[in-house]
A and B are shown apart, each in its own frame.
Chain A
Amino acid sequence: MITVGLICDRVRWDEKALIRAVEKRGAKPIIIDQKSIFLDLTGNLDNVPEVDVYLQRSVSTIKGLYISKLLEEKGHIVINSFEASRICADKVLTTLALAREGIPTPHTLIAFDVDSALRALEKLGYPAVIKPTLGSWGRLVAPLKDPQTARAILEDRVFMGALYQTFYLQEYVEKEMNRDIRSFVVGDRVVAAIYRVAAEGELRTNTALGGRAEPCPVTAEIEELSLRAAKAVGGDGVYGIDILAGPNGMMVNEVNHTVEFHTTVPVTGIDIPGMIIDYVLERVK
């Protein structure tokens, strides 16, 4: 019997659906609670249950990255790979990977000091958007409307600690119908897509912030762009691709490596957890 280790810190609807999908396919799910293990960097991993394949589902990005790296180092298969996850987790590395492959993505600059950030913003033009380099669910993504408010927000970030002192500054892309697209890549297929419609008065479309999901057809353009973006960050895995459809066509905004689907499954009727587990089991063969 194939064993699948789900590395979790919380078992949400998503993880529960994955566990049931593993069981349904006659394989055995083993939940590895991130909080209950310790890892011997210089020794062996006899404290971590040994399974045929590990699926990384940690909500805590940094802890998840360390666990994936260690498991790979000891010769195990982890989905997604450490390298791809590292690129997705860091918005600077994601933008670089997308730009390297010539994938359309918003114009982005980084700066490490308030005054140089303001000079970068002059080049980028207002309004712009500031994002933490690490983080999700739209957290601390803020519009910068003019130099005065930009300075105030930048100064606040300085006081928030080292993590927020790399200023990731991006052109503001006017979204058609105040929505963007999230597509789901599993292996070499785009299995589903949704529109994420921002809540009233909100710039961010994240469903965690009240954004609404609606079914979106996987057009040839969405499919091509999604597969190229997945490949750019490392390929062969499970990804959530954020696509902006603006006045100049489609652009890839972000790539997520521990993708959530609890909103998409009921809206599209597509069994994303089942497809993920089919792919995971295929990787063991």
Chain B
Amino acid sequence: MARGNCPECDAEIEVDDPVIREVVECPECGAELEVVEIEGERVKFSVVEMKGEDWGE
């Protein structure tokens, strides 16, 4: 289990077995975050950019 802080509200967020670019939602403020750095048990998040008009499946 790794931990990091939400860049929006500073809440501590736990991520199980994180992967770079993994998207998680902050349980406190609901911001959509992306894992950008993993260092041992610490992860760094950044807020996900706005949705693009060609996004989809």
Contact = CB atoms under 8 A, between A and B. Distances in A.
Interface residues of B, number: 14
Nearest to A62: B54
Contacts of B35: 11
Chain B facing A: main interface SS: loop
A208 to B, nearest CB: 9
A25 interface: no
A9 interface: yes
Contacts of A265: none
A60 B55 contact: yes
Contacts of B48: 10
Contact of A135 (B21, B22, B23, B54): B54
Nearest to A258: B57
Interface of B: 19-23, 34-35, 48, 52-57
Contacts of B52: 59-60
Contact of A59 (B19, B20, B56): B56
Contacts of A260: 57
A137 B56 contact: yes
A33 B20 contact: yes
A198 interface: no
B54 A33 contact: no
B23 A11 contact: yes
